[in-house]
Amino acid sequence: MADRLRVDVAVLGSGPGGSVTAALCAEAGFQTLLLEEGPDLPLDACRHFSGEEIVRKYRNRGLSLAFGKPSISYMEGCCVGGGSEVNRGLYHRTPAYVLDRWAREYQVDALTPDALAPHFDACEARARVAGLPGRAPPLSQRLGDGGAALGWDSMQAPRLFDYASGRKQSMSETFIPQFRRAGGDLMAGTRALRIARTNRRWRVSAVRDRRPLEIEADGLFVACGAVQTPALLRRSGIRHNVGNSLRFHPMLKAVALFSDAVNRPGDPDPVHQIKAFEPRFGIGCSISSPALLALALGGNPAMRAHIAQASDRMGLYYVQNGSGHARVRCLPGARDPFVSVAHERNELEALYDGLRHLLRALFAAGAEAVQPCLPGLPMLRSAAEMDALPASLPRKSASLSSVHVFASCPMGGNQRITATDSWGRVHGVDGLRIADASLMCGPTIANPQGSVMAIAHRNALHAIERRFA
């Protein structure tokens, strides 16, 4: 026999979208249940960006793949707080030109910077968005210096971070405690299998500790992430424009070797970003632990050999854009969905051009050597040696990765290309809403967590005002 629960509102998934939504519903006085497939772990349960964190807090131990030419390896958080627990918390509001395009092409109502401003304000107040106090660490500053030498403006991205306490402002530190204080009930280690509408209520079929669980709710928000949300909907027979438009911010990376230490223990996370070329591509800094350097240089043994003696002089950097158009499909008997990705030539050309710009910036910053993180490509000792690189991105050996996944169930009034209306209500289905990065209509190039939180805040208030109708 299945265990049974009855609540006013169920929210499936506790990442940024789900946590913001659940907190608002609970504070409005609704009996709210927040389900999370992964474990409930404190922020400091393991060292950030460590192998232990990847095993304990990521889906599939960080080894998810969108198959294509080239394929994209992507990471998803799978724990209470979702991706906010494992990312760096870099924060941007959605660029105005992005909102304008979404409003025009997807016919999304009330999606101007002014309309979203109070929702950004509310989320930022709770999550303590802050700029880095003082001078950035050398690894970060080098990218800014290189860009400045070439006449490219850079900026220091704010973060969801409390620099006074040294703690990231993830969902487990902010909106989930707010949800619990409002009387919400969090159930971790619970996987939703299917959803169905019966007798004007939603029924969630789930499993917890290997026991079946049935949940009935008047209102249902699905916030399982941009891959798992369409997978759940498709398993449940809801397929209109669901899982057909998944997008990424795929990255190409490079490692620079400098003459002096840039990568010091205890330094704050790097924050510099070169935004002069957006939306074609954006450039930034990565965490550069020895483990992550080794992972990035898996196909480049010459530079990889320097890690043991010179990791303090090495920095990992990236370029990203909006390449990759993917589909999510469920396979019979498979636990996880199959994700396939195709690329447009001009998008890959832009990404590869971005890599060349990144290499130039690193040499302008004084790098002694730079290694593009693509198998078979040479370690470069000067900008002049860039002429030895292939004329175009080698698709067969390209190693693309992404930590931003979104747009699998886009919102808007244009039902030809959208899965929900402008407020996250699934087309043609009563009482069902999506509340995560799936709703985004395309790439932002900027880090998308701020966009996800503000849109979730906007849509949750809209739902509460209408009592989830």
pLDDT at 414: 97
Q: What is the mean pLDDT of residues 203-212?
A: 95
Q: Alpha-carbon distance 13 to 21, whole Å?
A: 10
The CATH number, out of the four listed (3.40.1160.10, 2.60.40.290, 3.50.50.60, 3.20.20.140), of the domain defined by the range 3-127+169-245+404-465: 3.50.50.60
pLDDT at 399 over 90: no
The domain ranges of the chain are: 3-127+169-245+404-465, 138-163+250-402
Q: What is the mean pLDDT of residues 410-437?
A: 97
Which residue bears the tokens 């480049």?
A: 300
pLDDT at 155: 96
pLDDT at 446 over 90: no
Q: Alpha-carbon distance 270 to 272, whole Å?
A: 6
pLDDT at 99: 97
pLDDT at 206: 97
pLDDT digits (tens, 9 = 90+) for 248-274: 999 999 999 999 999 998 899 999 999
Q: Alpha-carbon distance 90 to 203, whole Å?
A: 36
pLDDT at 191: 97
pLDDT at 2 over 80: no
As to burial, measured by CB atoms within 10 angstroms (0-12 exposed, 13-18 middle, 19+ buried), residue 131 is: middle
Closest CA to 77 of 58, 90, 61, 55: 58
* The pTM of the whole model exceeds 0.85: yes
pLDDT at 102: 98
Q: Alpha-carbon distance 325 to 407, whole Å?
A: 10
pLDDT band at 431 (very low <50, low <70, confident <90, very high): very high
The sign of the dihedral angle between the CA atoms of 417, 419, 425, 430 is positive
pLDDT at 1: 61
DSSP string for 161-175:
EETTTTEE--GGGTH
Q: What is the mean pLDDT of residues 215-227?
A: 97
Close Cβ partners of 216 (under 8 Å, ≥ 6 residues apart): 4, 5, 6, 7, 201, 202, 203, 204
**E strands of 301-431, at which residues?**
314-320, 325-329, 338-342, 369-372, 400-402, 405-406
Lowest mean pLDDT among 212-221, 315-324, 391-400, 448-457: 391-400
Which residue bears the tokens 């389900």?
A: 35
pLDDT digits (tens, 9 = 90+) for 270-313: 999 999 999 999 999 999 999 889 989 999 999 999 999 999 99
pLDDT at 456: 98
The sign of the dihedral angle between the CA atoms of 85, 431, 469, 190 is negative
